[in-house]
Structure 1
């Protein structure tokens, strides 16, 4: 079976690529999601739970910004310029993964006070929860497309695949 570039990235350089591109961002984002539930349930924005939530939000947003820039210049642009994509499923998997920058950077900017400044705390919590939800959707779509054979729905011949 052929792999998408998304899965190939995670599978090569074991265990480092898996740790850098999946484990660190997912552990931090899941920490945000879990603590988010506690914050929303209690409406306490001054406790330890919110402090952990805020730390994880800022950290994952800044960390994923570095990952995004790295992958954009080291993978996406070269693959696009060289015609190395393995069909639309491959593009979708990588694109959904990289779309994680929108909610993750949004969380960081929100918690650093650079986004929605001056808004009531309830409004900021609502937007924070939306960003968490958006992240969950795009990452799950990346995983679903990433696990497919990239040529399953494509007319691109298999022999045209290029290693990452």
Structure 2
């Protein structure tokens, strides 16, 4: 079956690419989402849960920044310059994965007090929750489009092999 570059990246170098590019960011997002919900319900902006949320947000922001820089240099720019995209589905999958930098880095900067310094704790909690939500949306769009046969969205007639069931 024809794969997007997103799925090709995750399938290559097993299990390392899957762990590096999928498992670590998704586990961070899950920790952030679950702890964020608990913090929003309890309104406990101090304590172990908030610390876990903050440490995870900072770690995820810097970790994903490293992934973003690496993939920009080794994949996104070369695919664009060399015209090697497998159609619009491929572009959507990889682009939405890369867009995860915005909410993850935003959370890290917020948690480090580098942005929105003048906001109240409740306003910062709201912004943090919005950033977590944005990451979940872009990551899921990347995953969904990443699993589609990219030839369905291109003029390329190849890639329509039947899967053995």
| Fold shared per TM-score above 0.5 | yes
TM-score, normalised to structure 1's length?
0.94
Structure-2-length-normalised TM-score? 0.94
Find the counterpart in structure 1 of residue 8 from structure 2.
8
For residue 26 of structure 1, give the secondary structure of its aligned residue in structure 2.
Answer: helix
- The ranges of structure 1 where at least 4 consecutive aligned residues each deviate by more than 4 angstroms after the TM superposition are none
Cα distance per residue 1:80-137 (max 9 Å; x no partner): 1111100000000000000000000000000000110121001000000000110110
Paired residue for 2:133?
133
| Distance (whole Å) between structure 1 residues aligned to residue 71 and residue 40 of structure 2 | 33
The alpha-carbon deviation at position 151 of structure 1 amounts to 0.8
Find out whether 1:35 has 2:18 as its counterpart.
no
Q: Which residue of 2 aligns with 1:101?
A: 101
Secondary structure of 2:150's partner?
Answer: coil
Residues 13-162 of structure 1 mapped to structure 2, 5 A cutoff: 13-158=13-158
- Computed over aligned residues only, the root mean square deviation of the Cα atoms, in angstroms, reads 1.0
| CA distance, structure 1, for counterparts of residue 153 and residue 39 of structure 2 | 42
- The alignment of Structure 1 onto Structure 2 pairs a total of residues equal to 159
Give the whole-Å Cα distance in 1 for the aligned partners of 2:51 and 2:153: 45
Deviation at 1:157, TM superposition (A): 4.5
Distance 2:135 2:80 in 1: 25
Gaps of 5+ in 2: 160-165
Q: In 1, distance between residues paired with 2:134 and 2:29?
A: 11
Q: Secondary structure at the match of 1:65?
A: helix
- Match of 1:152, SS state, is helix
What's the offset of the Cα at 1:158? 3.3
Structure 1 runs not aligned, ≥5 long: 160-164
